[in-house]
Copies of this chain bind each other. A is one copy, B any other.
Amino acid sequence: MTEAYTLHEDPRSGNCYKIKLTAALLGLPLATKQYDILQGETRTPDFLANVNANGRIPVLEIESDQPTRFLPESNAACWYLASAANGENALIPQDSFAQADMLRWMFFEQYNHEPNIATLRFWLHFVGEANLSDQQRAQMMAKRIAGCDALKIMDDHLSRRNWMVGKGATLADIALFAYTHVAEEGGFGLGDYPAIEAWLGRIRALPGFIPMA
């Protein structure tokens, strides 16, 4: 039996979009099941017990001849799909250093980029500035600075190369594309980062590319 994939997702989430974009670029069918994170739909007892004890989407559900498996963490799910596809366009380089360097940028994405750029986008674009708590408001400036730092590091890196790692698109590009291309919804102007803007265009031109919902 070939595997069948279902993504548990909120379509507004860039972390979920990464997985959909990976599947699209690989030509893999991917069903989806939607949740509204603003309504707490990923914190229900059923979700915590059966999908992800961490109460977060995305989660990739994998059906095969084994018992159904659930894989949380967006970048791990992208890894699984690309390693399962395992072909010429697998989006994971074969060279050991390039593979580790790709993971390096995916960890950078989760540590330096997402908590700043995705969080400010979520607060400003979906929650609304007027609805933020004092504690959230107190963190905005630190997240603004750290997000700009992350974009600057990417822009410097991309000013000398076309892709984050090696000579073609990898999961590092997909992971970083997800929240970078909507960074303006978090108040990050991309006009200051010309190498990023050119790279966004290269990703949009990849065969099989799909836009975020």
Enumerate chain A interface residues (CB-CB to B < 8 A): 53-54, 62, 69, 71-77, 79-80, 83-84, 96-97, 99-101, 103-104, 106-108, 110-112, 114-115, 135, 138-139, 141-142, 153, 156-157
What are 14 A-B interface contacts by the 8 Å CB criterion?
Answer: A73-B103, A73-B107, A75-B103, A76-B107, A80-B97, A83-B100, A84-B96, A103-B103, A110-B110, A111-B114, A111-B115, A115-B115, A135-B141, A135-B142
Main secondary structure of the interface of A (DSSP, over half): helix
Top 5 closest A-B pairs, CB basis?
A80-B100, A76-B104, A73-B104, A73-B107, A76-B103
**Is the Cβ of B115 less than 8 Å from the Cβ of A72?**
no
| Contact A135/B138 with A75-B107, A107-B107 known, Cβ cut-off 8 Å | yes
Copies of this protein in the assembly total 2
Please give, as numbers and ranges, the residues of chain B lying within 8 Å of A141 by CB-CB distance. 135
Determine the distance from Cα of A139 to Cα of B140 in the docked complex, in whole angstroms: 12
Distance A151 CA – B125 CA, assembled complex (angstroms): 31
- How distant is the Cα of A111 from the Cα of B183 in the complex, in angstroms? 19
Instruction: Say whether A76 contacts B101, CB under 8 Å.
Output: yes
Chain B residues within 8 Å of A79, by CB:
99-100, 103
Whether the Cβ atoms of B71 and A101 lie closer than 8 Å is yes
Asked if B115 and A96 sit within 8 Å, CB to CB, the answer is no
Tell me which of A69, A77, A97 has the highest count of chain B C-beta atoms within 10 A of its own C-beta: A97
Partner of A104, one of B72, B108, B135: B72
B83 touches A99 (CB 8 A): yes
Interfacial chain B residues near A106, Cβ < 8 Å:
107
Q: Find out whether the CB atom of B112 lies under 8 angstroms from the CB atom of A153.
A: no
Shortest CB–CB separation between residue A95 and chain B, in angstroms? 11
B71 touches A97 (CB 8 A): yes
